[in-house]
Amino acid sequence: MLSLLSSTKLKLVYVAIAAADSWLSGSANPTHHRARVLTKPLLMPTLMASLVTDPKAASSPLRTSTLIAQACGWGGDLALMGDRPQDFLVGSTSFGVGHAAYISGFLANRSHTRRPGPKAVAALWATTAPGMVFGAARQDKRLGPTIAIYSAMLASTVAASTQLESPTKSARRVTMAGAGLFMLSDTILGTRMFLLRNPPHWMESAVMATYTAAQLLLSEGAARAGTE
């Protein structure tokens, strides 16, 4: 019971930090942006702690892969606190490794029956990725290949989530929702960074709100996958 309460409290703390960081990120006040040094680095460690202390997750086949992905997400979060092209390269690489961890967990526990989803995800990626890649390459030639590879990894995470086999339907649905929100978040991010010259401040809040919600849902999906 204590571990359950601890996990629940940590999730609530994560939600509070995520809400604060999302608000700060979309503010036009530079002081608010600087205050994110107090919020953004706490996101993934808090979420990881909530998963580690969740008794439902003890038997989950997705526990280890999700914790690895969250650790990589933390590295990406820290890197993206900078605004240089090399910071974006490091952050994208870290997130890419995290998506590889998510994919490995999903595929290791995939359904024996092929389910719909991957073709639709592939079509969505083929529609949205080229513009992002071209826009990124215009800013820095190194970013084009990075965005191409990263976006393919992200789309693969979403596609793999549709094939997940789980003892509970809710685990699969929550996981798919988390993966889909992750893709939405990075689509907003790519649009803001590479396609718009003067993006509105609220877009950064949208990026963080969808990203933090995605990570929470993926973590909850992993925990529910251990439910008997």
Judge contact between 18 and 208, C-beta under 8 A: yes
Closest C-alpha among 105, 44, 35 to residue 75:
44
Question: What angle, 0 to 180 degrees and rounded to 10, lies between the N-to-C axes of helices 202-224 and 43-52?
Answer: 10
The amino acid that residue 177 corresponds to is A
d(CA 218, CA 212): 10
The pTM for the full model equals: 0.92
pLDDT of residue 8: 92
The amino acid that residue 125 corresponds to is W
Structure tokens at 74: 């933390």
pLDDT of residue 99: 97
Which distant-in-sequence residues (6+ apart) come within 8 Å of 112 by Cβ? 165
Which distant-in-sequence residues (6+ apart) come within 8 Å of 102 by Cβ? 65, 66, 69, 157, 160, 161, 179, 218
Q: What is the DSSP letter of 193?
A: I
Which distant-in-sequence residues (6+ apart) come within 8 Å of 113 by Cβ? none
Judge contact between 178 and 221, C-beta under 8 A: yes
Which distant-in-sequence residues (6+ apart) come within 8 Å of 78 by Cβ? 40, 41, 91
Question: What angle, 0 to 180 degrees and rounded to 10, lies between the N-to-C axes of helices 2-25 and 202-224?
Answer: 160
Domains of the chain (ranges, CATH numbers) = 2-224 (1.20.1070)
pLDDT of residue 168: 73
pLDDT of residue 140: 85
pLDDT of residue 216: 98
pLDDT of residue 209: 97
Write out 87-121 in H/E/C secondary structure.
HHHHHHHHHHHHHHHHHHHHHHCECCCCCCCHHHH
The amino acid that residue 193 corresponds to is M
pLDDT per position in the chain (228 positions), as tens? Answer: 545 569 999 999 999 999 999 999 999 898 998 999 999 999 999 999 999 999 989 999 999 999 999 999 999 999 999 888 888 889 999 999 999 999 999 999 988 888 888 889 999 888 888 888 999 899 888 889 999 999 999 999 999 999 998 767 889 999 999 999 999 999 999 999 888 888 999 999 999 999 999 999 999 999 999 865
